[in-house]
Amino acid sequence: MRMRTIEISVGAFVAAAIVAMVFLAVRVSGVSFGAEQETYKLKARFDEVAGLRRRARVSIAGVNVGRVADIHVDIAYGEAIVTLEIDGKPGELSIDTGAKILTEGILGARYIGLLPGADEEMLEAGDTISETQGALVLENLIGDFVTRMGAS
C-alpha cells in the first residue's frame, strides 16, 4: 500500500510539472488564447535592430502595451522597418513619441520601449514613429574601444 501511495504522489508531481512547463512556454512565447482585443499598427525605422524578434514586447514605462508584428529591411535606405501592434485604439500616442530598442537585463531579450511625447497631434493607425534609437551592439562597442586603444 505504501508503494502505491509513493507512485501516485510521483505521478501527480510529474503531471503538475508538465502543466507548469506548458504554461510557462505559452507565457514566454507571447501566444494569447484570450479574447482578441482591439489593436492598431504603427511603423518605426531603425538603423540597427540586432537581437529584436517578432512577438517581442513593446512597453511604455515598463508596462506591456503591444508586440512587434513584423521586421523587414528597406534596402534603399539601409534601415530596418519594424511594425508594432499596439493594444487599444489609435489616438493615444502623440506624434512626437519616440521608440528605443532596449535589453532586459545584461544579456536578456530585446524589446521596444516607447517614450510618449507632449504634442497634441496623435499617431493614427499606419503612421511611422520618426524618433528612434537602434540597438546597442556590444561587439561594435568593443571593436571601437580596441581600435581607439590601438591608435593611441
With beta carbons less than 8 A apart as the criterion, state whether 86 and 40 touch.
yes
Pair 46, 99 in one domain: yes
Strand partners of residue 45? 81
- Is 149 part of any domain? no
Strand partners of residue 94? 122
Confidence of residue 59 (pLDDT cuts 50, 70, 90): very high
Pair 19, 79 in one domain: no
Long-range pairs for 135-140: beta carbons < 8 A, 24 or more residues apart: 135/46, 135/48, 135/49, 135/50, 135/51, 135/52, 135/101, 135/103, 135/110, 136/103, 137/48, 137/50
Confidence of residue 143 (pLDDT cuts 50, 70, 90): confident
- Is 150 part of any domain? no
Pair 23, 45 in one domain: no
Pair 22, 68 in one domain: no
With beta carbons less than 8 A apart as the criterion, state whether 43 and 81 touch.
yes
Residue 35 has pLDDT above 60, yes or no: no
Pair 43, 108 in one domain: yes
pTM of the model: 0.69
Q: Average model confidence (pLDDT) for the chain?
A: 85
Residue 23 has pLDDT above 80, yes or no: yes
Specify the pLDDT at position 130: 85
Domain span at 137: 39-142
- Is 105 part of any domain? yes
Pair 136, 87 in one domain: yes
Q: Which amino acid is at 89?
A: K
Pair 22, 45 in one domain: no
